[in-house]
Amino acid sequence: MTEPRLLEEAERAPLPMLILRSACGGVLMGLANLVPGISGGTMLLAAGVYPAFIEAIAEVTRLRPRFRHLVLLGSVAGAAALAILLLAGPTKNLVVERRWIMYSLFIGLTLGGLPLVWRLAKPATPAVWAGAAVGFTLMVLMALAPGNGAGSNGPAYGWLFLSGAAGASAMILPGVSGGYLLLLLGQYLAILSGIDALKTGLLEGGGSDALVAGLRVVVPVGIGVLVGIVVVSNLIEAALERFPKATLGVLLGLLLGAVVGLWPFQEGVRPTPGDLHDGEPLTASAIAALDPDEWPLERFAPTGAQSAGAVGLALLGLFGTLAIGRLGQGSDGGADDAPAASG
């Protein structure tokens, strides 16, 4: 089924069915944004609402909203926000406490997006290979840059805004993981912590301190998301329309280079007095006040069992993403048509 036929289905579908499918897609997209390696766009594609979602964004940002567009966007956004709010804390704890396990899964989930983007890029041209080289180099440089990584934290408002914009743009293209972009920007755990604090303040009686701490993170991220949807998403669509091969090549390079920043055998190490944190030397009392997700990361030599486990978990993640991609193809008759037509 091609994208125009999916759009026709969305127009003809009864409103309750449209709400149900949009809400299911929103829940899946919210979960995807919490897990690096899974694309929110792929989840919407799997739910069968991706083309209608893209059209709704385009029409609303052009100030031509229709009631069905608003219902679709509201259902997707509300369901995604609820999933993120309720599950951000458990996801953060798993990453902090079982980092090598989660990163191994993330590697497989990330690589599982390659076949989808490759199908869109075929037949490969010099522009595809050049774009892939640029994307791969950019991702490696970002992964190796000082200060990047999941261990960094703190209310860096500019980075939080940029992270929100990056996460929003990742909703537009299947195969691109917003969660992984947050990891590369060093704001993944900071954002999950902020969302969890907001949940504590709103739903669990955590008091005004938790609420304020959450809002200090969620507000700049939320503004970035809005800007990203309006600006970045349209830029990506324009790039796909004018330079489709080069743009898809960049996406391939980004996915391949993503693995560099997800080396699983690293762990948070408790700092010692005198170590620098945010440019300031730490005291014993300051160290005691640090959360484990703010500890610096250090690599370690894995055991044989850990190495074998990492390979198995990466394969599990790989097959998981491939299965999701197959589900998306089942919704539209082939992943080749839907994203290409929307770009």
State pLDDT tens for residues 116-153: 778 878 888 999 999 999 988 987 887 676 544 444 44
Confidence of residue 308 (pLDDT cuts 50, 70, 90): very high
Residue type, 343: G
HSE (side-chain half, CA atoms, 13 Å) at 251: 29
Residue 97 is given by DSSP the state H
pLDDT at 20 over 70: yes
* Model confidence, pTM: 0.65
pLDDT at 9 over 90: no
pLDDT at 336 over 80: no
Are 189 and 293 contacting, i.e. CB atoms less than 8 angstroms apart? yes
Give alpha helix (H) positions in 228-283: 233-242, 244-258
pLDDT for the residue 327? 56
174: Cβ contacts below 8 Å, ≥ 6 apart: 39, 41, 42, 44, 45, 50, 113, 116, 117, 328, 335, 338, 339
Are 88 and 30 contacting, i.e. CB atoms less than 8 angstroms apart? no
158: Cβ contacts below 8 Å, ≥ 6 apart: none
Closest CA to 208 of 196, 200, 220: 200
121: Cβ contacts below 8 Å, ≥ 6 apart: 128, 245, 248, 249, 251, 252
pLDDT for the residue 150? 42
Q: Residue 232: how many CB atoms within 10 A of its CB?
A: 20
Crossing angle of helices 50-61 and 233-242, in 10° steps, is 110
HSE (side-chain half, CA atoms, 13 Å) at 311: 6
Q: Is residue 230 packed enough to be buried (19+ CB in 10 Å), middle (13-18) or exposed (0-12)?
A: middle
The per-residue pLDDT for range 203-236, each reduced to its tens digit, is 766 677 888 888 888 899 989 888 887 787 677 7
pLDDT at 42 over 90: no
Rounded CA separation 182/160 (Å):
9
pLDDT at 110 over 80: no
| Tokens found for residue 16 | 């309750």
Are 87 and 34 contacting, i.e. CB atoms less than 8 angstroms apart? yes
pLDDT for the residue 285? 85
The per-residue pLDDT for range 287-305, each reduced to its tens digit, is 887 777 678 878 899 999 9
If you average pLDDT over residues 164-171, what whole number do you get?
76
If you average pLDDT over residues 158-171, what whole number do you get?
80
Q: Which of the pair, 69 or 178, is modelled with greater confidence?
A: 69
Average pLDDT of the chain is 77
If you average pLDDT over residues 10-33, what whole number do you get?
78
pLDDT for the residue 231? 80
Are 231 and 161 contacting, i.e. CB atoms less than 8 angstroms apart? no
The per-residue pLDDT for range 94-109, each reduced to its tens digit, is 877 888 998 898 788 7
Closest CA to 319 of 113, 181, 175, 117: 113
If you average pLDDT over residues 169-187, what whole number do you get?
71
β-strands 280-281, 266-268: how paired?
unpaired
pLDDT for the residue 326? 67
